Amino acid sequence: MNYRGYLLTLTLILLTFTQCKHTAIAEQPPNVILILVDDMGFSDLGAYGSEIETPNIDRLAFEGLRFTNAYNTSKCFPSRACLLTGLYSQQIGYHQTFRLKMENTVTLGELFKSAGYTTLWSGKHHSIENPITRGFDHYSGLLDGASNHFNPGVKRDGEGQPAQKGWLKRSPKIYRNWVIEGDVFNPYTPESRDFYTTDVFTNYALNWIDNIEDEKPFFLYLAYTAPHDPLMAWPEDIEKYENHYNEGYKKIRQERFKKQKDLGILFKNASLSNADHKEWKTLNDEDRAEESRTMAVYAAMIDRLDQNVGKILDKLESQGKLENTLIIFASDNGGSSEVVNLEGGTGQIGTLTNWKSLGKSWANVSNTPYREYKNWSYEGGIKTPLIAYWPKGIKHKNTIARIPVHFIDVLPTFQELLKVEYPKKLNGQNIIPPDGISFLSAIKGENQNDKRVKPIFWQWRQGKAIRDGDWKLVAHRDKWELYNLESDPVEEIDLLIDEPDKAELLKKKYLNWSKQFNFDKKD
């Protein structure tokens, strides 16, 4: 071979190598993080109208995509079942109890595992099934629904009794199940007095991310219990919001509503649902002080959540992984009006010994501009502030997607992203195919304002609903109501009498869906 031939051969080799290298980089699968928070309302983030300081989550929103018609199930464990499986919770029996194994389905852990990902889960599960058995390489967190944020276990020397729900006090041998690297502890009493669930869940995740092989992609499911009651937060976080809420519910709700319109979350001609809170002036000084403190602690919990999301972003940025990481953020249901009745909680609101709930009036603010709450099938119970962030994959930053999506759509979205086949059988079981629709095209900048091609259904306790296009048929205790969400997104104008044919058609669709689960016999 002459010199010119040698140079030509070498050039071809180098070009081939470069092309292969670039192809490998281009085809590098993204890391994926799913962040789920607990009992947070639609308007509780800065990017969705709140006065609470959430700069890190707002960064995800303003550098990514905000959905304004994203839905959960209105309740913790059914929402989590939908996320994990791409199925309605009714399809696997999780609409009545969480004390079941998830059979005839594939979990997100198993899906990502099949694509060669390291699979991580930190935080709340709300099930009896250990995630280690369902495709996750690592799991640490809370198997149950909610716990004391400072100490989920027994009393430590020198401290007061950790506030617990009434049924735990009546049955002191029953505690929340905590898991560390797959090992179950009951009770789990942390040695450190710096223990706080939000911080701890983040630390689990950060430690795992530090030890992942650089070339291997990971999937992290980070499921916080905040801001679910008990309302507990660090003093320095509470201090930021002290006296901030002294002017009451109406003022904060109206300010959030205005900001939502300014941000484009709501259209300029949007309406605010009728107030469902107490008149601030009717409260005595002591009650106003307690209510102001309650909301300050709630805000502090969300602030701390945001700080921890910031730690995750900082870690990924320092490792050069943030650019190609898809982050999905959502809440498992609307703001909660539930009030836990305790048997003698003591101490100041926000501390270890006091189990305090947000209450109906502040929950009405939390769900601005919508009506009703967690456990209801009205928009206030089922709307979630869903955010998608992916620097490498989202073409148009700071955009708003109005296409309706549901938690059952998350797994199909990830499936399309991963380009993996959905199994028909797994572990000897026939697998139910996912019921959702991928919204990956919306994340990438397409179809963000399209109509959904399939209806969405809800059923939880006394609530039930169907959304088909812009129409929604909803009931609480079997009294049906009909709304057009395009013209009336806050569900104030019942069109049942005016549009009987539309109502009947939607009712038939709902009954055809519900009859397979046998929970709607009366109809």
Query: Where do runs of H (alpha helix) occur along 149-284?
Result: 166-170, 197-210, 235-239, 249-263
pLDDT > 80? residue 25: no
CATH fit for domain 29-453, picks 2.60.40.1220, 3.40.50.970, 3.40.720.10, 3.30.360.10: 3.40.720.10
Domain ranges of the chain: 29-453, 462-523
DSSP 8-class letter at 89: G
Question: What integer is the mean pLDDT of 390-399?
Answer: 95
Q: Which residues pair with 460 in a beta bridge?
A: 463
Question: Domain spanning 462-523 has what CATH number?
Answer: 3.30.1120.10
pLDDT at 175: 79
407-446 residue pLDDT tens: 999 999 999 999 999 888 888 888 889 889 999 999 999 8
Helix intervals (H) in 147-248: 166-170, 197-210, 235-239
Chain-wide mean pLDDT for the chain? 90
Q: Is the pLDDT of residue 173 over 80?
A: no
Asked if residue 277 lies in contact with residue 247, where contact means CB atoms within 8 angstroms, the answer is no
**Residue 236 CA from chain centroid, whole number:** 26
Closest-CA residue to 266 (of 275, 254, 276):
254
Q: What residue ranges in 256-397 does DSSP mark as E strands? A: 325-331, 383-389
Expressed in angstroms, the distance from the first to the final Cα of the chain is 86
Per residue in 224-234, pLDDT tens? 999 999 999 99
The pLDDT of residue 138 is 97
DSSP for 1-27, written as a single string: --HHHHHHHHHHHHHHHHHHHHHHHHT
- Residues 463, 337: Cα–Cα separation, whole Å: 15
Say what the pTM is: 0.93
pLDDT band at 520 (very low <50, low <70, confident <90, very high): low
Rounded (5°) CA angle 350-362-471:
135
Q: Is the pLDDT of residue 300 over 90?
A: yes
Q: Stretch 506-517: mean pLDDT, rounded?
A: 93
Most confident of the ranges 68-72, 141-145, 459-463: 68-72
Sequence-ordered list of residues with C-beta below 8 angstroms from that of 85, at least 6 positions apart, any chain: 91, 92, 102, 105, 106, 107, 108, 411, 434
C-beta of residue 331 within 8 angstroms of C-beta of residue 40: yes
pLDDT digit string, tens, across residues 450-499:
889 999 999 998 899 999 999 999 998 889 999 999 999 999 999 999 99
- The H or E element spanning position 188 is none
CA nearest to 138, candidates 98, 82, 193, 181:
181
* 313-322 contact pairs (CB < 8 A, 24+): 313/56, 313/59, 315/206, 315/209, 315/210, 316/31, 316/209, 319/209, 321/31, 322/391
Q: Is the model's pLDDT at 8 over the cut of 50?
A: no
